[in-house]
Amino acid sequence: MKLFDLHCDTLYRAFFENGGLFNNDFHISFDKTDDIEPYIQCMAVWVPDEFRNKNAIQLFENCRKKLNDELKDTNIKIIYSQDDIIEIESKKGKGVVLTVEGGAVLGGKLENVDYLAKCGVKIMTLTWNGNCELGDGIGVEGAKGLTNFGKSVVAKMEQNSIVVDVSHSSVPMFYDVAELSTRPFCATHSNSKQICPHRRNLTDEQFSIIRDKGGIVGLNLSRGFLREDEDKACMLDVLRHAEHFLSLGGEKTLAIGTDFDGTDIPIDMTGIESMNKLYELFLKHNYNEKLLEDIFFNNARNFLLRF
């Protein structure tokens, strides 16, 4: 099976729990990925709402150092360019895309977008659930959209080929991005609000806007995003969300954004080693392999090759 996963919190968890990316009891442990080839994993530096200014950028630096140290002298490549993606796929290898979850990492300084780009960051979620200098997240009551600084950041990200990620954005922020963006944007780990009315999920209109802009949406494995009775959430619920998004013409829009190590996952999954089971479940429900390769790998690959 080929897998391109748009979001996980494994790097953040490894840093704060003083763990590793190998031989751990996390959702993702690279030693459990032998049967996934090629495998490209987006690893986010999550910036919680309480981290601001120097503390936020220091958190990024610490996690980035952790990633470099962990992957040094391994066969897993940190991806800096489109050529890296092409090479990993051709060699059926493994790679990591560095991303950031939370625009607070910028510390309110526009020039830090340039710095993130130099560090290899390819995707940045504009907010987490609260607010930051860029605007309001989905958890803010009476939320507003992008601040003037946030609008400047979106433009600067596009200039630096850093993908704008609207997962966690408030509804007004989403529509500001849709209006202002000149390049495709994404929701790395969000499901369908039509199937499960969680505040973090996307309406049909929001999904269609991302689709029409040429963006992508990653299916999230979080129990609470899959069904209202989250204690019963299972892989079949992932299928339900996929089927709904596909009914909206999402064949080239739908991707995978597991949220591994950042949430509680379906009761019949244990982590990265369960992704083959999920793939097989789709096959059993008459999904053809071409469509599944698009959802599990090609759509994310093709999207990032454009940046």
CA distance 6 to 25: 21
State residue 132's pLDDT score.
97
What is the pLDDT tens value at each position of the chain, 307 positions in all?
999 999 999 999 999 999 999 999 999 999 999 999 999 999 999 999 999 999 999 999 999 999 999 999 999 999 999 999 999 999 999 999 999 999 999 999 999 999 999 999 999 999 999 999 999 999 999 999 999 999 999 999 999 999 999 999 999 999 999 999 999 999 999 999 999 999 999 999 999 999 999 999 999 999 999 999 999 999 999 999 999 999 999 999 999 999 999 999 999 999 999 999 999 999 999 999 999 999 999 999 999 999 9
Could you tell me the maximum CA-CA distance found in the chain, to the nearest angstrom?
51
3-state secondary structure the chain: CCEEECCECHHHHHHHCCCCCCCCCCCCCHHHCCCCCCEEEEEEEECCCCCCHHHHHHHHHHHHHHHHHHHCCCCEEECCCHHHHHHHHHCCCEEEEEEEECHHHHCCCCHHHHHHHHCCCCEEECCCCCEECCEEECCCCCCCCECHHHHHHHHHHHHCCCEEECCCECHHHHHHHHHHCCCCCEECCCCECCCCCCCCCECHHHHHHHHHCCCEEEECCCHHHHCCCHHHCCHHHHHHHHHHHHHCCCCCCEEECCCECCCCCCCCCCCHHHHHHHHHHHHHCCCCHHHHHHHHHHHHHHHHCCC
Task: Fold for 3-304, please state it.
Answer: TIM Barrel (3.20.20)
State residue 215's pLDDT score.
98
Nearest CA among 38, 39, 1 for reference residue 21: 39
State residue 141's pLDDT score.
97
Report the interhelical angle of 171-180 vs 148-159 (nearest 10°): 50
CB-CB contact of 175 with 203 (8 Å): no
Instruction: Give residue limits of the domains in the chain.
Output: 3-304
Instruction: Give the predicted TM-score (pTM) of the model.
Output: 0.98
State residue 75's pLDDT score.
96
State residue 225's pLDDT score.
98
State residue 218's pLDDT score.
99
CA distance 24 to 19: 7
Nearest CA among 88, 61, 164, 92 for reference residue 122: 164
- Tokens for 100? 């950031």
